Amino acid sequence: MAQPLTVLAQHAFNPPDLLSQYPPRVSHPYKEWLFERALRTPPYHLGEIKITKYLAGLLPPNLPPPLPVEIREDVFDYECPSPTSTPWYLNFADSSLFCAYGSGLFAQDEMQVAEHPLLASVREAMRALSQRDQAFSATTRNRDGAPTPVLISGVQRRVVVHTNPDADQGRPGGLYGNAFTRAPLPVVKRACEFLEHPTTTNLICIEAPSGGWGLYKEEEIRDILRTAYTGFAGARHETPPGVQVVVHTGNWGTGAYGGNKVLMALLQILAARMAGVDKIVGHTFAAMFTCAWEEALREAATFEAGLTPDEIVARVAAKHYRWGQSDGN
């Protein structure tokens, strides 16, 4: 059974007011063009954008049975919610939420904001609100380092940026990460597909640990588990009863942060079980990540229902997973 969640802050925004009061602050010329073009034409939104910030607490006392896990060797497709199922997508957040959205960086976090440009206004609004109430600070960890996942529901995806390698379109190495700012602007423009009928997305913003080395310590494993659990449980909490919760995730914390590919997938699968979500989808992007997810899924199957958090952490630590290296993006 999931533990009660602690809500630190919650607010709902009217999108036109959000944009007019807290416009994006963009410094890179490519991003200036993209944001201006994406937000040029109303309506900016249907409904409201809701943010909820949680404080990570205790893990559930026992591990529930396994849940369905689907592995797809692709990128996020941002499926629309239905009356029976609500998809939630991970944002691979920095501790300072969306902090580099206006820069030339273009890793998963910055790409997600570019495609959902009102997320930039969400950051600016949270920073403004935090002047009156520090609970609204645009952070995914507090000053003590404890996880504070931020969930954002109902934000429009207004543009698709194709980052895959395509020599015919002038991007033989793709546009992900640092390749974005090295590409000529015409190449970036050709990669942007502005949506005539924007869709809406729900996001779970959580930061993975970074900068580790050697074997994973038990406290690092527990931190990853608590972070993912709190984000996933928040999605369950914010989805109406009777509606399935499907968490779409991927190679969280294994790029620039250098996390172990198998460990990070395994802990997400176990956290999803703890949170009571109905299904988890791992979007792996490439074959090496697919192999890691498949190994993690096999390993997760050995964790029987009823295990305590201490037993889970000890068993994971006994596997002697080692930190990897940053990929520089």
Looking at residue 4, its pLDDT comes to 79
**Residue ranges, the chain, pLDDT below 70:** 1-3, 43-45, 328-329
Q: What's the pLDDT score for residue 119?
A: 98
Q: Which residue has the tokens 């995806």?
A: 157
pLDDT value at residue 57: 87
Structural domains present in the chain: 6-317 (3.40.220.10)
- pLDDT at position 175, please? 94
How far apart are alpha carbons 251 and 285 in whole angstroms?
8
Lookup: tokens for 63: 């591990």
pTM metric for this prediction: 0.95
Task: Using alpha carbons, select from 267, 291, 299 the residue that is nearest to residue 280.
Answer: 267
Predicted pLDDT at 303: 98
Q: Could you tell me the end-to-end alpha-carbon distance of the chain, in angstroms, rounded to an integer?
A: 38
